[in-house]
Amino acid sequence: MRAAVYPRRRLAVVAVTVVAVAALLLVGVWSPWSAAATPAGVATAPIEVVIAPGDTVWDLAHAHAPAGQSPRIYVARILAVNDVDATALAPGTVLRLP
């Protein structure tokens, strides 16, 4: 009689696990903290900026760096994404900001 109890317990554990995983996935999809939920007005695509006379990459990094990210790291990301040297920027150059 005990031999028949173990398959039922195993089935119950599997069923509970499947339901728990499905619930976590659904909460993750509809959670306000999920990556898919972006506040209105927040751009998700790279921003293009035209360099004006006197602009520096450092100024752009201070103005557009994501919250909590060091401007120094953001400067490196800008230069890497655009494959440019900071000293070679000229007015009229278009930079994509990640």
Which range marks the domain in which residue 25 is found? 1-37
Q: What is the pTM of this model?
A: 0.52
- 42 domain-assigned: no
Do residues 18 and 57 both lie within one domain? no
Do residues 52 and 24 both lie within one domain? no
**pLDDT tens column, 44-59:** 577 899 999 988 899 9
Mean pLDDT of 12-38: 64
Structural domains counted in the chain: 2
The average confidence (pLDDT) of the chain is: 78
- 86 domain-assigned: yes
Do residues 23 and 57 both lie within one domain? no
Mean pLDDT of 21-50: 62
Query: Three-state SS string across 14-76, please?
Result: HHHHHHHHHHHHHHHHHCCCCCCCCCCCCCCCCEEEECCCCCCHHHHHHHHCCCCCCHHHHHH
CATH number, domain containing residue 74: 3.10.350.10
